[in-house]
Amino acid sequence: MSQNIPTMAEMAAEGKQPEILFWVGCAGSFDERAQRITRDICKILNHVGISFAVLGTEESCTGDPAKRAGNEFLFQMQAMANIQVLDAYEIKKIVTGCPHCFNTIKNEYPGLGGNYEVIHHSQLIQQLIDEGKLTAEGGESFKGKKITYHDPCYLGRGNNVYEAPRKALEILDADLVEMKRCKSNGLCCGAGGAQMFKEPEKGNKDINVERMADILESKATVVAAACPFCMTMLRDGVKHENKEQEIQVLDIAEITVRANGL
């Protein structure tokens, strides 16, 4: 299914201004698994008829992993270059597909002169549900399925967004279960703070394996994620436990797309 994904450059050439910019993020752009989520977010935007655009090749890393790893120079170089691009297109509102991009642009760009209204895609989905523009009809039924939601640190504790992603699951009529460690007590997947890009320090197990115990205990067959890094870590965890047949890890956007048959 080919869908319409305009870039800001194309829009600007036509003299048009989209309602919202979809900030895809590096994982969403390059990671094969995350690319599917990226396309699903576009499907949702197209389905509800929101005028949007992406930066395409003009997008660059927000600088988040550099900042968490202590490279403030690199972070601010990235941030200022991105702010120049965003401001040149007079961007006002941004939806991100990644909690790390979301946190960085929303909270750390204003101090460097970049002021935008920033939401995470789970918040967009919540808004669309609240407005009645998204339902859970016409697609795959999640009725009665045991689903648990894994809170990404930079969405949950980092920005106190706990309810929006759960809202997207509540309309499924599924059997929602919380893990022992959830919401503000949620356990990290192990990828944050630039851990995604290095081997873990010596320990007795990997953090995603520790998280798997919570998932297995919840008896969920679907683990809902809202972050591409969590997605990678959770899928590796499922693989590690040889539960690929029993447990699916799906992003909130993917679940929404499936439920609506988009």
Partner 1 sequence: MIAQILFIIILAAAIYLFSKNVGKIRRNILLGRPADRSDNPALRWKTMAKIALGQTKMVKRPLAAVMHFFIYVGFIIINLEVMEIMIDGIFGSHRIFSKPLGGLYDLLIGGFEFLAILVLTACVVFLCRRNIVRLKRFSGTEMTEWPKSDANYILIIEILLMTAFLTMNAADHKLQLLNFGHYIKAGSFPVSSLLSPLLPDSAAGLELIERGCWWFHIIGILAFLNYLPYSKHFHILLAFPNTYYSNLHLKGEFTNMASVTGEVKAMLDPSFVPETTGEPQRFGAKDVTDLTWKNLMEAYTCTECGRCTSVCPANITGKLLSPRKIMMDTRDRITEVGNNIDKHGKDYTDNKALLDNYITREELWACTTCNACVEACPVNINPLEIITELRRYAVMEESQAPASINNMFGNVENNGAPWKYSAADRFNWADADIDK
Query: What residues from 50 to 109 belong to the interface with partner 1 (CB under 8 A)?
Result: 54, 56-57, 59-61, 63, 65-74, 76-78, 80-81, 103, 107-108
| Exposed / middle / buried, residue 243 (Cβ in 10 Å: 0-12, 13-18, 19+) | middle
Window 180-219: contact mask with partner 1 (x via CB under 8 A) = ----xxxxx-xxxxxxxxxxxxxxxxxx-xx---------
Q: Per rule CB under 8 A, is residue 115 in the interface with partner 1? A: no
- The nearest distance, CB 235 to partner 1, in angstroms, is 16
Q: Per rule CB under 8 A, is residue 38 in the interface with partner 1? A: yes
Give strand ranges (E) for 75-221.
93-96, 117-120, 146-149, 175-177
If you ran DSSP here, which 8-state letter would residue 104 be given? I
Q: Phi, psi (5° rounding) for residue 205?
A: -165, 170
Q: Cα separation of 20 and 242, whole Å?
A: 41
- The nearest distance, CB 167 to partner 1, in angstroms, is 20
Element (H, E) at 234: helix 228-240
Contact in structure between 92 and 86 (CB atoms under 8 Å): no
Distances (CA, A) of 60 to 29, 31, 56, 82, 235: 10, 15, 9, 7, 26
Binding piece for partner 1, criterion CB under 8 A, among 1-9, 134-142, 162-170, 241-249 = 1-9
Q: What angle do CA 10, 45, 184 make, to 5 degrees?
A: 120
Q: Per rule CB under 8 A, is residue 221 in the interface with partner 1? A: no
- The nearest distance, CB 105 to partner 1, in angstroms, is 11
Q: Per rule CB under 8 A, is residue 49 in the interface with partner 1? A: no
Q: Per rule CB under 8 A, is residue 13 in the interface with partner 1? A: no
Binding piece for partner 1, criterion CB under 8 A, among 35-43, 135-143, 162-170, 244-252 = 35-43
Q: Per rule CB under 8 A, is residue 123 in the interface with partner 1? A: no
Contact in structure between 190 and 206 (CB atoms under 8 Å): yes
- The nearest distance, CB 37 to partner 1, in angstroms, is 10
For residues 48 and 209, which CB has a smaller minimum distance to partner 1 in the complex? 209
Q: Per rule CB under 8 A, is residue 141 in the interface with partner 1? A: no
For residues 142 and 154, which CB has a smaller minimum distance to partner 1 in the complex? 154
